[in-house]
Amino acid sequence: MSIQSVNASTDLTDSYLNAIKEQVCLLSEEIEMSKLNFKDYRILLDIENNESYALIVTDNNGYIISGIKNKTVSEYSLIENSNPYKNNMNDTLLYYGPMNYLFKSNGSIVDIYSNQIISSNLRMNNVTDNNIENLKKLNTEFLDNCKPVSLKTRASGSWVGAPASRFSRYNGSSWRNKSSVCGPIAASIMMAYFDDYVGYDVIPDNVRKQNSSSPGTLITKMVAETPLATSTIPSTVATGIRGFISKYSPNKYIKATSMSTNPFSTVKSNCTSNRPVCVGLLNSFGSEYGNHWVTAYQCKETGVYVGYYKCIDNWGNYSIEITSSWAMGAVSIGY
């Protein structure tokens, strides 16, 4: 069981590694302990610059990130080559919570995915003082959790969200992405669902008839209202929704909200209320769709802010399951 890392400043004991292995096997329910092998590890600094986390690398270059003192898994992926730090293993590595992977380079802190330098006060695009305080709070809450979460219960839990059968209505050829405008299409599907099942009265009948399997002119109008309609930028999709609501919707009180960070909590809260949400997928995060927008309507939690989404992908699949690790950003609507 013993593994050694020449770069790690703290040794991980066999009992620690066994505890983490057991948790991951309970989480995944797809791999036996005897088949889960570790080959390397690194110590990660948290947002307070403390050595609080361990990055454990599996033999297929998957990864597990866990708290050192509380022996609790924060996130993991057993998918081959999914280790987000794989190209920076010789650097000082930092972990600011799920989906926030960084390293030190020439005295600067660099975000692994964007390659953006983060200043000493943690200032970066789309991160406000409130976001930073939330990251610190989440870090403290996780590390102070002396008892592991109920991993087995969470892993074996059922999907939460709206019935998949409802989304077959939005899976016809007229709803499919033929011009790289997946953002406005994903938003159109979300809005049509709210019109059909939530009772928000979002779309006027002269644009799309309620409960129709046809989008009418909804997608055309959404594309026209969306700047950079082919992009994977959450704010542009939200702008398109706001433009449509302002110009066409009989209900002017609906608001579109966008985020450019790990969207799991947003997706989960919407799915729990049987409400779909647009989710942005990135090629750099391993998305098999490349950069793409889908409409998620169910989720399954398998760890802290990680799990799976069930989506309509506007490529002809209305009940596709994807890993949440592909996602960075979401757009939702509500009052």
Encode pLDDT of 11-39 as tens digits. 788 889 988 898 888 766 667 778 889 99
In the prediction, which pLDDT does 173 show? 95
DSSP 306: -
CA distance 53 to 71: 9
User: 195 near 208, Cβ under 8 Å?
Assistant: yes
pLDDT of residue 10: 66
User: Structural domain of residue 91, as residue ranges?
Assistant: 14-156
The string of DSSP letters for 81-141 reads T--TTTT-TTSEEEE-STT-EEEEETTEEEETTT--EE-TT--BTTB-HHHHHHHHHHHHH
- What is the structure's pLDDT at 145? 64
State how many domains the chain has: 2
Which of 156, 172, 202 terminates a domain? The answer is 156
CA distance 190 to 170: 10
- Which positions of the chain have pLDDT values less than 50? 1, 6, 120-128, 147-156
Of 100, 127, 156, which one is at a domain's C-terminal end? 156
Q: What pLDDT is stored for residue 231 in this prediction?
A: 87
How high is the pLDDT of residue 112?
84
User: Is 2 a domain residue?
Assistant: no
Of all helices (H) and strands (E), which one includes residue 321? Answer: strand 320-323
Q: In terms of domains, do 126 and 167 share one?
A: no
pLDDT of residue 78: 82
Q: In this structure, are residues 264 and 324 in contact, taking their beta carbons and an 8 Å threshold?
A: yes
How far apart CA 316 and CA 142 sit, in angstroms, is 39
CATH, residue 222: 3.90.70
Instruction: Please check whether residue 52 lies inside any domain of the structure.
Output: yes
pLDDT for res 4 = 53
b vs e for 151-178, b when ≥16 Cβ sit within 10 Å of the residue's Cβ?
beebbeeebbbbebebbebbbeeebbbe
Does residue 165 share a domain with residue 278? yes
| Radius of gyration (C-alpha) of the chain in whole angstroms | 21
Given this model, what pLDDT does residue 197 score? 94
Residues ≥6 apart with Cβ < 8 Å to 53: 43, 44, 45, 46, 65, 66, 67, 68, 74, 95
**In this structure, is residue 6 part of a structural domain?**
no
pLDDT at 328: 85
Instruction: Output the pLDDT for position 136.
Output: 79
- Both 139 and 197 in one domain: the answer is no
> Are 91 and 104 found together in one domain?
yes
Q: CA triplet 305, 164, 294: central angle to 5 degrees?
A: 55
Whether 192 is covered by a domain: the verdict is yes
126 and 227 share a domain? no
Question: Which is nearest to 332 in space by CA: 219, 128, 183, 187?
Answer: 187
- 197: buried, middle or exposed (CB in 10 Å: 19+, 13-18, 0-12)? middle
Q: Which tokens belong to 90? A: 């010789």
